Amino acid sequence: MSDPSPFRTRRDRLLALIGERGGGVAVVPTAPEAIRNRDTHYRYRHDSYFYYLTGFREPEAVLLLVAGDSPKSILLCREKDPEREIWDGFRHGPEGARERFGIDEAHAIDIVDEVLAEILADQPAIYFSLGHDATWDGRLTRALNTVRANARSGATAPPTIHDVRTLLDEMRLVKDDSEIALMRRAAAISVEAHRQAMRTARPGVFEYEVEAVVEQAFRRAGAQAPAYPSIVASGPNACVLHYVENERRMADGDLLLIDAGCELDGYASDITRSFPVGGRFAGAQRDIYQLVLDAQHAAVREIRPGAPWNAPHDAAVAVLARGLIDLGLLNGSLDTVLENHDYRRFYMHRTGHWLGLDVHDAGEYKQGGDWRPLTPGMMLTVEPGCYVRPAEDVPEAFWNIGVRIEDDALVTADGCELITAGAPKTIDDIEQWMAAGDAGA
């Protein structure tokens, strides 16, 4: 398992934050297992908040953090079970989990209702993600009612429920050293996957063959899974933002858009590259590609401590709008195109999102009504794009060109670092990388 110290530091921090607010109990369950069909489950994925505080990856577990004068952490998890372990694999069991994960107290999950009712009695507040998981909403309600039923013996139920995510989201927004190290490793694996993909895609190859190369590269390097369904979208499919069928056979003249990133030890990476399957960018493709790349450069230049969240988006939009006018795809002045959002016909998504345990990571984008300022340790994506669908008023040369360029940026003391920069991105770099693959084949 991972070093327990970052997880302990985070638990202590959350306990201190709750303590500063008058005390209470945080209840942070992990994710339920999910049926895929009949008696087959999806591969299990823990809850990101729970994992952030524990490092514990087994299902059927909950963390209770009791803040106050003598703060403590309690984990409830599955008992060891030699019979079940033959079928489903190793379980830490409460005692093993307590020792290995640095938890103060551990119990079997089977007695969760009793433990909850006992812990919640006389607490000033509960910190819980109400509405996230109906089973847990019900369990918490039952525990509260048990406490209320004991009113005559002097127990009082917590009068307040806060959303624990408001505290945890702020913590998750600024990555600690162990998170940054992991995200660099995840980024490096995904970079290598994109490099291999560029040397696999050719006219006549199916999108799923490239998907297989990408996901093999993830797994071979030890990443547990894709962080989200891989998009391998050639030709017109690149203009479908969430295309995941990956079934088409690529033809000469196509661009291929690959949006794929691995998840390593719970942390996501998120990279998009777009390139010509024939190895050379042709006329209009070259124009659109260079425009999106210029927009990305403009966005990246805005990423620095103190800059508002939206600055990279505004910068990318300004470059794209100007370029779309110059290419004859939009009419009117730059001001009008920006004011009327005309560019949204070709660029309909935002330029980035927080990145971390979740690909669209936790954290508010505004504070007090204003875009929040960036601070060192934040991780965000920078992903401008341009998608041109066939239409009568669009020159045919541009039809079905879909380009997105996406990197993962770590905010540093004086700017940002693109931790995914190793995936070829300039027109020259992509063409050279693909040509060298052909020469060596």
Token representation of residue 179: 């998170």
Using CB under 6 A as the binding rule, whether residue 362 contacts ligand GLY is answered as no
Tell me which of 219, 297, 353, 389 is the catalytic residue: 353
Beta carbon of residue 162, minimum distance to ligand GLY (angstroms, whole number): 29
d(CA 175, CA 125): 28
Query: Directed axis angle between helix 164-173 and helix 5-20, to 10°?
Result: 130
- Residue 215 interacting partner from ligand GLY, Mn ion, none (CB closer than 5 to 8 Å by kind): none
Q: Residue type at 439?
A: A
d(CA 82, CA 84): 6
* DSSP conformation letters of 91-132: --HHHHHHHHTT-SEEEEGGGHHHHHHHHHTT-SEEE--TTS
d(CA 353, CA 361): 7
Q: Residue type at 33?
A: E
Is 360 part of the annotated catalytic residue set?
Answer: yes
Beta carbon of residue 226, minimum distance to ligand GLY (angstroms, whole number): 10
Beta carbon of residue 415, minimum distance to ligand GLY (angstroms, whole number): 22
Is 353 part of the annotated catalytic residue set?
Answer: yes
Write the Ramachandran bin of 22: left for phi over 0, alpha for psi from -120 to 50, otherwise beta: left
d(CA 149, CA 155): 9
Using CB under 6 A as the binding rule, whether residue 228 contacts ligand GLY is answered as yes
Tell me which of 20, 36, 38, 39 is the catalytic residue: 39
Using CB under 6 A as the binding rule, whether residue 423 contacts ligand GLY is answered as no
> Across-strand partners of 416?
411
Is 39 part of the annotated catalytic residue set?
Answer: yes
| Number of residues near Mn ion (by CB under 5 A) | 4
Tell me which of 349, 350, 372, 389 is the catalytic residue: 349
Beta carbon of residue 349, minimum distance to Mn ion (angstroms, whole number): 9
- Residue 346 interacting partner from Mn ion, ligand GLY, none (CB closer than 5 to 8 Å by kind): none
Is 81 part of the annotated catalytic residue set?
Answer: no
Is 383 part of the annotated catalytic residue set?
Answer: yes
Q: Which residue, 270 or 287, is less far from ligand GLY as judged by CB?
A: 270
- Identify the residue among 259, 287, 361, 407 touching Mn ion (CB under 5 A): 259
Q: Which residue, 67 or 233, is less far from ligand GLY as judged by CB?
A: 233
- Identify the H or E element spanning 418: strand 416-418
Q: For residue 272, what are the CA distances in angstroms to 194, 208, 228?
A: 8, 16, 12
Q: Which residue, 323 or 384, is less far from Mn ion as judged by CB?
A: 384
Using CB under 6 A as the binding rule, whether residue 270 contacts ligand GLY is answered as yes
Is 20 part of the annotated catalytic residue set?
Answer: no
d(CA 118, CA 74): 13
- Identify the residue among 58, 207, 259, 407 touching ligand GLY (CB under 6 A): 259
Q: Which residue, 192 or 259, is less far from ligand GLY as judged by CB?
A: 259
- Identify the residue among 123, 234, 237, 381 touching Mn ion (CB under 5 A): 381
The closest residue (CB) to ligand GLY is 259
d(CA 345, CA 368): 30
- Residue 228 interacting partner from ligand GLY, Mn ion, none (CB closer than 5 to 8 Å by kind): ligand GLY
- Identify the H or E element spanning 268: strand 267-268
Token representation of residue 218: 């993830």
Q: For residue 170, what are the CA distances in angstroms to 52, 183, 352, 382?
A: 13, 18, 18, 21
Beta carbon of residue 237, minimum distance to ligand GLY (angstroms, whole number): 15
- Identify the residue among 147, 359, 374, 430 touching ligand GLY (CB under 6 A): 359
d(CA 308, CA 412): 15
Tell me which of 51, 127, 347, 387 is the catalytic residue: 387
> Taking Cα atoms as reference points, which of 380, 250, 209, 398 lies closest to residue 305?
380
Q: Which residue, 215 or 259, is less far from ligand GLY as judged by CB?
A: 259
Q: Which residue, 47 or 270, is less far from Mn ion as judged by CB?
A: 270
Q: Are 244 and 230 in contact (CB under 8 A)?
A: yes
Site mask for ligand GLY (CB under 6 A), range 365-384, x = bound = ------------------x-
Q: Which residue, 192 or 406, is less far from Mn ion as judged by CB?
A: 406
Beta carbon of residue 232, minimum distance to Mn ion (angstroms, whole number): 12
- Identify the residue among 179, 192, 270, 361 touching Mn ion (CB under 5 A): 270
d(CA 307, CA 112): 45
Active site residues: 39, 242, 259, 270, 349, 353, 360, 383, 387, 404, 406
Which residues of this protein are in contact with ligand GLY, per CB under 6 A?
228, 259, 270, 353, 359, 383, 406
Residues that bind Mn ion (CB under 5 A): 259, 270, 381, 406
